[in-house]
Structure formats: structure tokens, C-alpha cells
């Protein structure tokens, strides 16, 4: 395992090339990075930077996927994302160096800006549901093969892989599998068709920041072109979004009047992910959500 100092030396050397200036890391301060990555605030002679690192073997190309997702969102020029400065590997480690964002607790102004800017991002569309490459949702691979319809994409690229993983781990049984098969047959009639929207894909309260100037930033994306209700549904799963966020979104790009009826439907995917990663405490939520739509 590469020692931390060796990783930091590699980062210094590569940053010096990228920034065309000698970079010296003076301090490393651990910050929250979730259950997958180790995250640090790097104090450098060029200012603060964000470092995320993990195992190259355990999570191949994870940071390349994250960098591409941030670039895709950033290219819309609708909502801010941290600038990716360097993505590389060193021995058994992968790492990602980004702009450091000084953040604050969300105010009503910040929540309003987040809602409006997310709505504008969702207006960016594509000819198909999916993405040009697979990526990650949490620590699990997320498949993005393109489909003409959201129902086919949601079943084949989202639900079926998670259900199979849960069956293989004995976290779902054959009755659950039959119930999911019933849902697959009904799904296309449960929502109104819309053009694909660029979605963040993992939009819970830990995946946005409000900067000190109240500019909202999206972080840790799991992007694809999908049904925008998916992003909005996930904001309700673990809380952390102000009513003003939803009001501002609706003022900018109104959702279908009955969108709340499908919150549990779209949240089946992140709930299945949590079932697979964190265990049977999520089984009841999965079954309750599933049974309400079959």
C-alpha cells in the first residue's frame, strides 16, 4: 500500500506540471468523504485544494467517472461544480484533486438558487436515456446503456441489476423478484413521458454545497440522461432540502402535477442500493414502496 507521503509527493509533482508552477503541500486535514473515499483539505502554496483518494483495484475508474460527470454538468453552464484539477493514480491508489469550496449552511437564498439552477440543468436534453459510459452510484457500478424510453432504461439499467445483486446476496427472495416483474410490466403506464433530462443521479443532501457567497455547487454526481423526477424524488429520501428549493424549481421548470405520487417509485433504485450496501434495515422500505405500485 502506497504510504500517504508518497502519494502527496506524486500529487505535488503532477500538480506542478498541470499548473505550470511549483506546488508544495504544506498540510493535510481530513474531512468528510463518505464511506468509500478518504478526503482531505490540502493546504498548498497555491491555496486550498480538495483531495479524494481510494483503492484503484476496488473502485477502478471511479474518479475518472466522477470527473466526467462534473465536466458534463459544468458544460451546461447552469449550475456550479468544483473544478477538477487533477485525476490520476499512484501505485495502488487513485485520487482526484479539485477546487476547494468554502461552504456554509444553506439559507433560503441558497436553497432558491439551487432549485432554479437544477431546473435549468434539467432542461438540457439528449436523444436517448442513458449516458456515453457507465459510472458509479455510491460504490456500486451503475450501467448506462442507452434506451429509447425511460421505462426500459429504468428497468434494465437501474432496477434489474440491483435486484439481481440483492437476490445473489439473499437480501431479496423469489416473491420479491416476482413482485418486481409485475412492476416492470406496469411501469410504462405509471408516469407521463418526457424528453430525457441531464440528471445528477445521486441528489441527496450530502451531494450539494452552498458556498459562502450562496452559490450552490453539485458534487459526487452519478450522471445520466433520465427522467428528472428521479432527481427530485431522491431529494426527499434523506431530507435536507428546503421547501423554497422545491418552489423555485417549480417556478423555473414545473413538474407534472402528480409527481409526488411517484416519489417512492423512483426511490426504489437508491433504496435497493442501500439494501445491497448496508443491509436488511432497508428491506421494509423497498417492499413497502414496491407493493404500492403493483
Cβ pair 210, 107 in contact under 8 A:
yes
Number of structural domains the chain divides into: 2
Model confidence at 148: pLDDT above 90:
yes
- What are the grid coordinates assigned to 25, written together? 503541500
Question: H or E stretch including 245?
Answer: helix 243-252
Residues 171 and 66 both lie in one domain: no
Residues 268 and 127 both lie in one domain: yes
Residues 20 and 47 both lie in one domain: yes
Task: Choose between 225 and 3: higher pLDDT.
Answer: 225
* Model pLDDT for residues 168-225, shown as the tens digit of each residue: 999 999 999 999 999 999 999 999 999 999 999 999 999 999 999 999 999 999 999 9
* Catalytic one of 61, 176, 202, 264: 202
Length of the chain, in residues = 294
Q: What pLDDT score was predicted for residue 89?
A: 96
* pLDDT band per the 50, 70, 90 thresholds, residue 24: very high
Residues 143 and 266 both lie in one domain: yes
- pLDDT, mean of residues 81-85: 98
Q: What pLDDT score was predicted for residue 283?
A: 98
Q: What pLDDT score was predicted for residue 1?
A: 61
Question: Helices (DSSP H) in the chain: which residue ranges?
Answer: 4-19, 62-75, 108-122, 150-153, 160-168, 174-186, 228-235, 243-252, 263-266, 268-278, 283-291
Q: What pLDDT score was predicted for residue 239?
A: 84
| Nearest C-alpha neighbor of 25 from the set 8, 7, 2 | 8
Residues 72 and 37 both lie in one domain: yes
- Give dist(CA 38, CA 57) in Å, integer: 15
CB atoms within 10 A of CB 258: 9
Residues 116 and 261 both lie in one domain: yes
CATH code: domain of residue 156:
3.90.1200.10
Residues 49 and 126 both lie in one domain: no
- pLDDT, mean of residues 125-152: 97
Q: What pLDDT score was predicted for residue 240?
A: 80
- Give dist(CA 23, CA 44) in Å, integer: 7
- Is residue 134 flagged as an active site residue? no
Give the residue numbers spanning the domain of 155: 104-291
Cβ pair 181, 211 in contact under 8 A:
no
Q: What pLDDT score was predicted for residue 163?
A: 98
Among 99, 125, 140, the domain-final residue is: 99
- pLDDT, mean of residues 21-31: 96
* Model pLDDT for residues 228-257, shown as the tens digit of each residue: 999 999 999 988 899 999 999 999 999 999
Q: Report the SS3 class of residue 283.
A: helix
Residues 201 and 283 both lie in one domain: yes
Q: What pLDDT score was predicted for residue 28?
A: 96
Across the chain, mean pLDDT equals 96
The sign of the torsion formed by the CA atoms of 172, 175, 176, 181 equals positive
* Model pLDDT for residues 104-120, shown as the tens digit of each residue: 999 999 999 999 999 99
Among 44, 72, 99, the domain-final residue is: 99
Model confidence at 274: pLDDT above 80:
yes
Among 66, 99, 132, the domain-final residue is: 99
Q: What pLDDT score was predicted for residue 32?
A: 84
7 contacts: CB under 8 Å, gap ≥ 6:
53, 90, 93, 95
Greatest CA separation for the chain:
61
CA distances to 19, 22, 48, 269 from 45, rounded to whole Å, are: 12, 9, 8, 43
Model confidence at 12: pLDDT above 90:
yes
Model confidence at 260: pLDDT above 90:
yes
Residues 132 and 52 both lie in one domain: no
CATH code: domain of residue 10:
3.30.200.20
Residues 84 and 166 both lie in one domain: no
- Give dist(CA 265, CA 254) in Å, integer: 19
Residues 175 and 259 both lie in one domain: yes
Residues 31 and 49 both lie in one domain: yes
Amino acid at each position: 500500500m502506497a504510504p500517504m507521503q508518497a502519494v502527496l509527493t506524486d500529487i505535488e509533482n503532477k500538480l506542478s506540471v498541470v499548473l505550470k508552477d511549483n506546488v508544495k503541500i504544506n498540510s493535510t486535514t481530513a474531512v468528510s468523504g463518505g464511506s468509500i473515499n478518504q478526503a482531505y483539505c490540502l493546504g498548498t502554496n497555491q491555496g486550498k485544494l480538495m483531495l479524494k483518494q481510494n483503492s484503484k483495484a476496488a473502485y477502478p475508474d471511479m474518479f475518472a467517472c466522477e470527473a466526467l460527470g462534473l465536466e458534463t454538468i459544468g458544460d451546461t453552464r447552469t449550475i456550479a461544480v468544483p473544478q477538477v484539477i487533477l485525476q490520476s493514480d499512484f501505485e495502488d491508489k487513485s485520487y482526484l484533486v479539485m477546487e476547494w469550496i468554502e461552504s456554509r449552511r444553506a439559507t433560503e437564498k441558497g436553497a432558491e438558487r439551487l432549485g432554479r439552477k437544477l431546473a435549468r440543468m434539467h432542461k438540457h436534453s439528449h436523444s436517448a436515456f442513458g449516458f456515453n459510459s457507465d459510472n458509479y452510484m455510491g460504490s456500486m457500478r451503475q450501467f448506462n446503456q442507452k434506451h429509447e424510453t425511460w421505462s426500459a432504461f429504468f428497468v434494465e439499467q437501474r432496477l434489474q441489476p440491483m435486484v439481481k445483486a440483492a437476490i445473489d446476496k439473499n437480501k431479496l427472495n423469489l416473491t420479491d423478484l416476482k413482485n418486481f416483474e409485475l412492476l416492470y410490466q406496469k411501469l410504462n403506464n405509471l408516469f407521463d413521458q418526457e424528453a430525457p433530462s441531464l440528471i445528477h443521479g445521486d441528489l441527496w443532501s450530502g451531494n450539494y454545497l452552498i458556498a459562502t457567497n450562496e452559490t450552490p455547487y453539485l458534487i459526487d454526481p452519478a450522471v445520466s440522461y433520465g427522467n428528472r423526477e428521479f432527481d427530485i424524488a431522491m431529494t426527499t429520501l434523506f431530507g435536507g432540502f428546503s421547501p423554497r428549493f422545491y418552489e423555485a424549481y417549480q417556478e423555473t421548470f414545473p413538474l407534472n402535477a402528480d409527481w409526488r405520487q411517484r416519489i417512492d417509485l423512483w426511490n426504489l433504485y437508491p433504496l435497493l442500493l442501500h439494501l445491497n450496501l448496508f443491509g436488511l434495515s432497508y428491506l421494509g422500505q423497498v417492499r413497502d414502496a414496491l407493493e404500492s405500485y403493483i
